[in-house]
Amino acid sequence: MMDSWAEEQQGVLVTPLGTLVARWRGKALTALSLPRADRVSTAITATVPDWLAESLAAYFADPRHRFALSLAPTGTPFQQRVWQMLPSLAPGQVYTYGAVARMLGSGARAIGQACRANPCLIVVPCHRVVAVDGLGGFGGVTAGPQLAVKQWLLRHEAAC
């Protein structure tokens, strides 16, 4: 369980995927995301803790790595339910929004919206969820550099 009194900290990691911004409170990850050019943060004041850096390094070395991190992302109860289920999806496999919706007794569009709102890139593997006729989106974007991140992650995991 996370320390509710702990102040959220933020740091950056350089990974094979590029630079990622991590936020955590105590020993719980609250967010892992791509840096946004329109939001250059001055709050990056901490060194990313070893428990996070080592776990991500293990994933980049072996895409079959299963994360065993405490997570504390902020979201609606439905989003939380989707995010808790996504890590059970096998690396190297893709699932359609509709298939995930059937697993959770929901609709494909609602799954897409929960994936779009996912604050924990990679650790909560929304990149494994695709449209029936293509990749779908990534973080609400359907083209360009952000979608290239989804493609990179899927190629990385195809080695499984």
- Residues with a known catalytic role: 126
For residue 112, give the 3-state DSSP assignment: helix
Contact residues for 55 (Cβ-Cβ < 8 A; gap 6+): 65, 67, 68, 69, 123
| Cα-based distances in Å from 15 to 8, 53, 82, 158 | 22, 9, 26, 18
